[in-house]
Structure 1
């Protein structure tokens, strides 16, 4: 007999995990609302992942394990991204609320973080106009470790087929994006709201740089949200009024035009400085060449210049030689660079016909 562990995506974009000995029947029960509990009020539901096991205990163990995963890790499992599943293994813990039939534990997901560590900020795009720009913003977010995207009344609706190609692989951000009818609803669970705008728009609030905002987000308990306005006009006064702090980027007063993704990446980068993100590996520089090799290079050049008649007039020769020596000793050439330069001089000394 075959047993199944499975995962459903609900209408509120949350995930339900369960197990069963008849996958088709169980999914039909969830979809029809025949099962009381978590999915009944969150229909329609879609099957997004399942795996077969020869024993019920194995399916039940898989259910218990996956229910303890963060939302990001569940999404990585759905995508078959095993590297991300491993990487996200110890990233967050999960609080679960209500029980469901044949379920190991309740389902509702809320990311929590260890004491003293503030959760990553939520990025809120207010009335974004183009799907491409939403995708580019998602790409900017994921580059610097941000994954929670919220959209307030996107002009062209959501999902938007133009967002995926522009995201260049940041699908985990787009798939988790949630749509709200107002800024207030999109930020209701956030203790700190930042509005990005070039102008104060008549609203008297603290104004900080992205760097200062990042320090505040890392240092304050509770969730933070960062608002970005529509591409053409930016945030309206009523949008800014919801925020507690304004974030303004110092910019050229003659050309203050940032596109949406650029604005997101500036703020996300400053936040990422406080996180342990991967950086390109450092490459050790070769040590400077031994003095004897550098002296050989200087002597070689000096001889060629002397033979070519470069040193003139005679009374300037000592000063010219000192200048050349200073020029050649400043860069701290390594051994390979010295050999290369000696090869150049040798080629000039004995040119060959090619």
Structure 2
């Protein structure tokens, strides 16, 4: 099956290489790679953008295309969204990132090509830029401080674009991030038995009538913890050392 056509991310007159690099990272977080730069202030390529992109996101910058005007950057675009927090006298649909990207997915599914336009860091898009777009994206943020930096705005857009392909919850851990496998049920049972035995010898379960409930609480605690095999070995070792020193 052919890959879905992604939105073009158009940066209008970006001023700092670091912000372009950060935007590239935000794009790649959600699988976006079509970056288009319109009249970047410091020219292109920009070593500060490369440094900020940090590794894999450098490929977004490698593919980035530079245009002299917004019209040229939008030559193959069927529908465009302009991001702005300011009210405009231009009559256009005003959408949140979520509704805009849901609309974008529908348009792409029908064979259209979409783009999202982001303004320069200091002042944002000008009316002449917004006039070329079909709709406006405005993030519903604190009205007393509506400003987002460039990478934040790109990240929000990318996240909403990817909503239909992201898992509803974080993927369950088959292995822990450090590569250590989760403890097995038998390993957790043995760990719980070991601690229960040693705690009983130390007189922890007192008074006697409360001992069953205390043991049940501890057993539940061990089974609730996301322990790895390495974790169980550490807990066994800690207990052995405490017994030796006692």
TM-score by length of structure 2 reads 0.72
**Is the 2:35–2:63 Cα contact (8 Å) retained in structure 1?**
no
Please give the secondary structure, in 2, of the residue aligned with 1:230: coil
Among 118, 133, 139, the alignment partner of 2:19 is 133
Counterpart CA distance in 1 for 2:77 and 2:190 is: 67
Among 91, 94, 101, the alignment partner of 1:214 is 101
TM-score by length of structure 1 reads 0.53
Runs of 4 or more, structure 1, over 6 Å off, are none
Please give the secondary structure, in 2, of the residue aligned with 1:350: helix
Work out which structure has the larger RCO, using CA pairs closer than 8 Å and 6 or more positions apart in sequence.
2
**Is the 1:123–1:225 Cα contact (8 Å) retained in structure 2?**
yes
**Is the 1:288–1:332 Cα contact (8 Å) retained in structure 2?**
no
In structure 2, the residue matched to 1:331 is 225
Counterpart CA distance in 1 for 2:216 and 2:126 is: 65
Structure 2 unaligned spans of 5+:
176-180
- The reply to whether residue 233 of structure 1 matches residue 123 of structure 2 is yes
Q: Which whole-Å deviations, capped at 9, do the CAs of 1:228-261 have from their partners, x for residues lacking one?
A: 0111222233422322222233445565443212
- Structure 1 residues 282 and 298, CA, compared in 2 at 3 Å: closer, same or farther? closer
Please give the secondary structure, in 2, of the residue aligned with 1:327: helix
Select the structure that is richer in helix: 2
Select the structure that is richer in strand: 1
Please give the secondary structure, in 2, of the residue aligned with 1:155: coil
**Is the 1:118–1:219 Cα contact (8 Å) retained in structure 2?**
no
**Is the 2:174–2:182 Cα contact (8 Å) retained in structure 1?**
no
**Is the 1:200–1:246 Cα contact (8 Å) retained in structure 2?**
no
In structure 1, the residue matched to 2:67 is 179
- The reply to whether residue 288 of structure 1 matches residue 184 of structure 2 is yes
Matches within 5 A, 1:303-322: 303-322=197-216
Shift of 1:194: 0.6
Shift of 1:190: 1.4
Matches within 5 A, 1:264-275: 264-272=154-162
Structure 1 unaligned spans of 5+:
1-90, 92-113
Cα RMSD of the aligned pairs, angstroms, is: 3.6
**Is the 1:289–1:334 Cα contact (8 Å) retained in structure 2?**
no
Counterpart CA distance in 2 for 1:327 and 1:158 is: 57
**Is the 1:289–1:333 Cα contact (8 Å) retained in structure 2?**
no
Q: Which whole-Å deviations, capped at 9, do the CAs of 1:267-293 have from their partners, x for residues lacking one?
A: 2344345679xxx99735546323xx5
